[in-house]
């Protein structure tokens, strides 16, 4: 059978059978026929042509142009992996002319499409975000007069600053997570650092009395300073020194963002935890900072939050006995 060196052709084995897809991204069309035959390559070539040379005047042309643009290529790899399937869904669903997207009646059509995903509000909002970016690109290129997605409200509006992992949540996920993922969870819950900063945190960032690290959120202009209170020292003592970075995978190598994200998601799934994100461990850290004796103002400075957000978490999650002990500790310290 004739063979071709085709980059991107994706092979999937399921229940002992082999299936081929024109490219790796979710939603890619299946290539029909036996691999290597003339029918197989004809099916593949047709899929590629439809992706790269859509019907002129159709909205899917704008999707293709955006996908090939420098704007899209500059996105982080993880973002492109998330957006790729949405671009396919958008191109497949909106079998409309470009002109239709300049008509006022397109907005109800867009909302109807968004509402197909209301069971998962965050996913629905991402779909609108991707569609809006395609439309914004089209406006920049002079293909559309305005972005019809502007002003469509997000479905997911929860203030996650007041959502935290409780101690029982952490025990539950650590029962099924690898020790390496468990170290990351403990460190996040005791430092309040964002995931990106945690994964690059090195032993050299640990000073005598504090962890000092420039934060990625501030483009490394701002330093986070986390005092080494007893709970944090205990966590650090449990992490083996296998690399310049504190957190490593099972092979003793520094985590990649995607690698850690996959392992953490697998642990959440095994623990049957759907409504909590890794980022919510920052709220857990806020409660532990408070019980350890830090003021709400200092906690707000460490986390980059408002004092009101910190106060709301304290009221909601720190019981009165623990809060009273924390206040007494602060008063005793101030009178010495």
Could you tell me the CATH number of the domain that includes residue 72?
Answer: 1.10.150
Question: Same domain for 204 and 259?
Answer: yes
Q: What is the pLDDT of residue 294?
A: 82
Q: What is the mean pLDDT of residues 270-279?
A: 87
Question: Same domain for 220 and 327?
Answer: yes
Confidence at 1, pLDDT banded by 50, 70, 90 = very low
Q: Residue 113: pLDDT above 70?
A: yes
Question: Same domain for 272 and 153?
Answer: no
Question: Same domain for 167 and 298?
Answer: yes
Question: Same domain for 190 and 331?
Answer: yes
Question: Same domain for 284 and 135?
Answer: no
Q: Residue 307: in which H helix or E strand, if any?
A: helix 307-317
Question: Same domain for 149 and 186?
Answer: no
Question: Same domain for 195 and 275?
Answer: yes
d(CA 140, CA 135): 9
In this predicted structure, which of 25-29, 259-263, 327-331 has the lowest mean pLDDT?
327-331
Last residue of a domain, one of 107, 141, 157: 157
Last residue of a domain, one of 137, 157, 177: 157
Q: What is the mean pLDDT of residues 64-89?
A: 88
**What does DSSP say about strands 17-21 and 10-14: parallel, antiparallel, or unpaired?**
antiparallel
Q: What is the mean pLDDT of residues 83-102?
A: 91
Q: How many CA atoms lie within 13 A of 327 on its CB side?
A: 8
> How many domains in the chain?
3
- Please report the sign of the dihedral spanned by the C-alpha atoms of residue 66, residue 67, residue 68, residue 69: positive
Q: What is the pLDDT of residue 156?
A: 66
Question: Same domain for 3 and 75?
Answer: no
d(CA 122, CA 116): 12
Q: Residue 117: pLDDT above 60?
A: yes
d(CA 134, CA 129): 9
Q: Residue 324: pLDDT above 60?
A: no
Mean pLDDT in the chain?
84
Confidence at 58, pLDDT banded by 50, 70, 90 = confident
d(CA 84, CA 269): 23
d(CA 173, CA 168): 9
d(CA 187, CA 239): 9
Read off the tokens for 75: 């996105």
Centre a 10 Å sphere on the Cβ of residue 257 and count the other Cβ atoms it contains: 14
Q: Are 110 and 128 in contact (CB under 8 A)?
A: yes
Centre a 10 Å sphere on the Cβ of residue 320 and count the other Cβ atoms it contains: 7
Question: Same domain for 179 and 236?
Answer: yes
* pTM (2 d.p.): 0.53
Nearest to 327 by CA among 291, 303, 302: 291
Domain that holds residue 115: 54-157
């Amino acid at each position: 059978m004739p063979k071709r060196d085709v980059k991107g052709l994706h092979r999937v084995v399921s229940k002992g059978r082999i299936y081929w897809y024109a490219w790796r991204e979710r939603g890619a069309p299946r290539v029909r026929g036996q691999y290597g035959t003339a029918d197989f390559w004809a099916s593949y070539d047709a899929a590629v042509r439809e992706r790269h040379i859509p019907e002129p005047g159709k909205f899917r042309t704008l999707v293709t142009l955006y996908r090939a643009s420098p704007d899209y290529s500059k996105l982080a790899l993880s973002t492109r992996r998330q957006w790729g399937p949405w671009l396919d869904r958008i191109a497949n669903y909106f079998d409309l002319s470009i002109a239709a997207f300049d008509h006022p009646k397109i907005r109800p059509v867009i909302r109807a499409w968004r509402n197909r995903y209301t069971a998962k509000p965050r996913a629905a909002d991402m779909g609108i975000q991707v569609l809006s970016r395609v439309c914004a690109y089209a406006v920049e290129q002079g293909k559309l007069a305005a972005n019809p997605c502007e002003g469509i409200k997000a479905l997911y509006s929860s203030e996650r600053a007041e959502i935290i992992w409780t101690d029982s949540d952490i025990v539950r996920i650590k029962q099924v997570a690898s020790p390496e993922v468990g170290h990351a969870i403990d460190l996040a819950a005791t430092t309040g650092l964002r995931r990106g900063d945690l994964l690059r945190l090195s032993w050299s960032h640990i000073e005598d009395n504090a962890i000092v690290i420039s934060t990625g959120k501030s483009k490394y202009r701002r330093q986070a300073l986390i005092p080494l209170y007893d709970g944090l020292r205990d966590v650090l003592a449990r992490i083996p020194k296998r690399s310049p970075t504190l957190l490593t995978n099972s092979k003793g190598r520094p985590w990649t963002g995607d690698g850690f994200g996959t392992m953490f998601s697998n642990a959440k799934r095994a623990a049957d935890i759907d409504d909590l994100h890794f980022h919510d461990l920052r709220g857990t850290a806020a409660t532990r900072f408070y019980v350890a004796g830090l003021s709400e103002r200092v906690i707000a400075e460490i986390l980059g939050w408002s004092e009101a957000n910190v106060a709301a978490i304290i009221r909601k999650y720190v019981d009165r006995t623990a809060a009273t002990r924390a206040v007494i500790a602060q008063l005793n310290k101030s009178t010495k």
